[in-house]
Chain A
């Protein structure tokens, strides 16, 4: 595996010599890899990555979201159907969000959610055979930051690998931007980001800054943020 790690793989390429975990002697293969009887093949084109002890996956550039369990996403309420909301999360199917899956919601106390609202929710059911299901509470019944996103702001889409990049602890974008232009942000791994700055100009500046970092490293990001803040102070 050492020769493939950090290297480019293409679909159909057979991969060998994975490192097993000592505890369970199992190898966990993630997105972009699939098993065919005894062989492990790459199913997407990208870079093979490895996390200790035994996780492997292919990092690739993707725009279309495929729902997976336990991921936090931003959805748009598309309609109501009986006791559930139909939510568009950018996948092939609309997800369902029950009325009771909000903090403090009961049959008598309905949550204040209208069609067209943005919600930040977590996927509890998401596999290829079933319709995805969302909830806005965690396992303790608390909202924990989830729920309807209110009071303005701006939502936009970007590619999934950009999302993963800004969420990674190595990326300094959000911290650097926040030092000069304070803002509120909700990042959904379905490619959607909601931003609210102090004013419309600042919000637009942040909205333009985030997708531009797709191919930048940390130094380039720092330079970009500095230039952005210099341009913004011209507005005041």
Chain B
């Protein structure tokens, strides 16, 4: 496989505002991995969760089958920290922004798909954001080759896997989630590849907004 083949992400399609009750919703498909996100906010917050100078960001992650357990709580934490970084929480103190993520199908790179879908749903709900976030998954297989946006088969056979989330202002890293054993050089080279790939994801977001605006005008 040549470097250019590895740098290509799976095709992405997205549908926004298709749920009527939430303030914003997005359904994102990356290859066969598919995630549905609903955003409510800024809305009422329970007294015990209220923060006086910021908005409380809550994420609920629902797996396709079974009840949510510890692994889901861990996913929620990563997603919550990523979303809290990009939302301008100080604009809405004593309110709550609820993000509900439903896994529809997992064919690899699920966490990155969840982060991207959450960002799209927040955009659709017109929540004030400091920047957008784009997440890319990269795995290192048994031969030491990098594979971007792996399928679940490639993910299960990988030695190490990384999820990097970047912002669209300076392409700095917002979140890193890594699994397996890897060297520092491998980490840095995966970071660079993922950063290049995130540019195409931000372009995808912009194209979505343009399409929606054209429909309106």
Contact = CB atoms under 8 A, between A and B. Distances in A.
Tell whether A and B belong to one assembly.
yes
A12 B216 contact: no
A218 interface: no
Chain A contact residues: helix, strand, loop or mixed:
loop
B42 A66 contact: yes
Q: What band does the interface of chain A fall in when counting residues whose beta carbon is under 8 Å from B? A: 20 to 34
Contact of B94 (A46, A60, A92): A92
A34 to B, nearest CB: 7
Given A92-B44, A93-B44, A10 B130 contact: no
Interface in A1-53: 8, 10-14, 32, 34, 41, 43-47
A208 interface: no
B51 interface: no
B166 to A, nearest CB: 11
B155 to A, nearest CB: 29
B24 A10 contact: no
Interface residues of B, number: 40
Given A34-B128, A92-B95, A10 B168 contact: yes
Given A43-B129, A44-B126, A44-B129, A12 B168 contact: yes
A69 to B, nearest CB: 16
Most chain B CB within 10 A, of A41, A46, A61, A93, is at: A61
B23 A64 contact: yes
Contact of B125 (A34, A63, A128, A161): A63
A92 B213 contact: no
A12 B129 contact: yes
B84 to A, nearest CB: 15
Contacts of B131: 11-12
A8 B210 contact: yes
Given A11-B129, A61-B212, 12 more contacts: A10-B123, A12-B168, A34-B88, A43-B128, A45-B123, A45-B205, A46-B209, A64-B41, A92-B42, A93-B94, A128-B91, A128-B93
22 contacts: A10-B202, A10-B205, A10-B206, A11-B86, A11-B130, A11-B168, A12-B131, A12-B132, A12-B168, A14-B169, A43-B88, A43-B130, A44-B127, A46-B213, A92-B43, A92-B92, A92-B94, A93-B94, A93-B95, A128-B93, A161-B216, A215-B216
Interface of A: 8, 10-14, 32, 34, 41, 43-47, 60-64, 66, 92-93, 128-129, 161, 214-215
